[in-house]
Amino acid sequence: MIIWEDFAKIDIRVGEVVRAEKFPRAVKPSYKVWVDFGPEIGVKQSSAQLTECYEAKDLPGRQVLGVVNFTPRNIAGFSSEVLILGLYSEQGVVLISPERRVEKGARLG
């Protein structure tokens, strides 16, 4: 179990996908995704295993939640700077999005 202070260290924000493309070098089927988290954080990139439920062309414009304060990870030569949040389902990973559009960079709380 974690304590509240541990959870409070995780910075989860809403961002808008601005670009997505296939990532053929990734071991597991993935997209390279660029997400705009607003003026404070800016555009960050992520490797995301979303290929079973989404087409890359359908991702731009979608709002997503992401952890913005992880250390970047090198995935097949690509720096993944944020963790886009999703739910594992029988269909594949399903994105977590706000119920209605909110300001980019809004913090989960």
23: tokens are: 């990532």
Q: Which fold has domain 4-95?
A: OB fold (Dihydrolipoamide Acetyltransferase, E2P) (2.40.50)
Q: What is the pLDDT of residue 109?
A: 84
Q: In whole angstroms, give the CA distance from residue 57 to residue 50.
A: 12
The model's pTM is: 0.94
| Mean pLDDT confidence for 79-97 | 97
Residues 81/66, Cβ–Cβ less than 8 Å: no
Environment class of 50 (CB within 10 Å of its CB; exposed 0-12, middle 13-18, buried 19+) = buried
Q: In whole angstroms, give the CA distance from residue 10 to residue 66.
A: 10
pLDDT digits (tens, 9 = 90+) for 16-40: 999 999 999 999 999 999 999 999 9
Q: Which residues make Cβ contacts (< 8 Å) with residue 58, sequence separation at least 6?
A: none
pLDDT digits (tens, 9 = 90+) for 37-61: 999 999 999 999 999 999 999 999 9
38: tokens are: 């607003």
